[in-house]
Structure 1
Amino acid sequence: MIEVELKGYANEEIFERVREKFEFLRKEIHEDTYYQHPCRDFSKTDEALRVRIKRFNGHFEAFLTYKGPKLDEFSKTRKEIEVPIEDPDKYEEILKELGFKEVLTVRKVREKYFVKKGIIITLDEIEELGKFVEIEAMAQEEEDIDKLVNSLKKILKEIGIKKFERKSYLELLLER
């Protein structure tokens, strides 16, 4: 699957527009710990490997996620492989034993909203970065990307997003 994702800078006014316009799904707390490969520089190959812990409604889920290089010039579209994990501490221990180095943990509060079938919009408050809106959908084939990017961009512009950001939260935090 190919994750098609766009992100824009937001403020409380934009957050309120999303809350009024779309159906609330749930609020989550995320801790995303990113790792550097021992033999390959992910910052040069535009890849990412992370362990995500999501907390919501007194429950938690954890995932190991690989993200491939971005596939277009505007969005954050990339191949994503994600697997649920039961014991994130053990996975992190395995990664460290294999020589992976912890880079940074990104912490965020995320509100998820349903736009329409296959499209989710999120309100993200990133520790040390501020407010953002992300919108995402999944594409089956690379030929579907441009049409989907344009559709998602239109939705973000309709809620008032003027400045888009292609860099990941990790990249933005590392630049600080």
Structure 2
Amino acid sequence: MIEVELKGYADEEIFERVREKYRLVRREYHKDTYFQHPCRDFSKTDEALRIRVKRFNGHFEVFMTYKGPKLDKKSKTREEIEVELTDPDKYVEILKNLGFVEVLTVTKVREKYYVEKGISIALDEVENLGKFIEIETLVEDEGEIKEAVEHLRAILEELGVEHFERRSYLELLMERYRNGET
């Protein structure tokens, strides 16, 4: 499956429009730890490997996710492979033993909303970055990407999103750290 995702900068007005229009699924707390491959620079290959700890309603889930390079110029669409982990500390230990290095941890509060079948919106408050809105769906093949991007973009524009962002939270935070802003 291919994850088609668009992200935009948001403010409290956009958050309120989403809260009024769509059904809240749940509020989550994410701690995403990103890793660098020992032999290839993910920042140059546009890939990512992370372990996400997701807490909600007194429960938690942990996933390891590989994200491939972006597949189009307008969105964050990419192949995504995700597996649930039962013992994240052991997986981190395996990665480190294989030469992977922790790059950065991104912490955020996420509100997930149901938009329509197969489409969800996330309102994210990212530590040291601010407020963002993400909308996503899944498609079977690359031929479906353009139409999906146009549909998702129309939904975000209707909510008042004017500025879109293709970079990941990791990329945005790394840039801030390089510029001495955080």
- Bin the TM-score by the shorter chain: over 0.9
Match of 1:122 in 2: 122
Q: Matched residue of 2:134: which SS?
A: strand
| CA apart distance, 1:56 | 0.1
List structure 1 runs of 4+ shifted beyond 4 angstroms. Answer: none
Count of paired positions? 176
| CA apart distance, 1:27 | 0.1
Q: Distance in 2 between matches of 1:28 and 1:143?
A: 32
Q: Distance in 2 between matches of 1:147 and 1:95?
A: 37
Give 5+ residue unaligned stretches, structure 2.
177-182
Deviations 1:68-97 (A, max 9, x none): 000000100000000000111111111001
* AA aligned opposite 2:116: K
Q: Matched residue of 1:121: which SS?
A: strand
Deviations 1:27-81 (A, max 9, x none): 0000000000000000000000000000000000000000000000010000000
| CA apart distance, 1:2 | 0.3
5 Å matches for 1:22-61?
22-61=22-61
Q: Distance in 1 between matches of 2:96 and 2:45?
A: 20
Q: Distance in 2 between matches of 1:75 and 1:57?
A: 31
Q: Matched residue of 1:110: which SS?
A: strand
* AA aligned opposite 1:127: E
Match of 1:165 in 2: 165
Q: Matched residue of 1:86: which SS?
A: coil
* AA aligned opposite 2:84: P
Give 5+ residue unaligned stretches, structure 1.
none
Deviations 1:111-143 (A, max 9, x none): 000000000001000000000000000010100
Q: Distance in 2 between matches of 1:43 and 1:122?
A: 25
Question: Pairwise CA RMSD of aligned residues?
Answer: 0.3
- TM-score (normalizing by structure 2): 0.96
Q: Distance in 1 between matches of 2:93 and 2:131?
A: 32
Match of 2:143 in 1: 143
Q: Matched residue of 1:52: which SS?
A: strand
Q: Matched residue of 1:135: which SS?
A: strand
Q: Matched residue of 1:50: which SS?
A: strand
| CA apart distance, 1:100 | 0.1
* AA aligned opposite 2:81: I
Q: Matched residue of 1:55: which SS?
A: strand
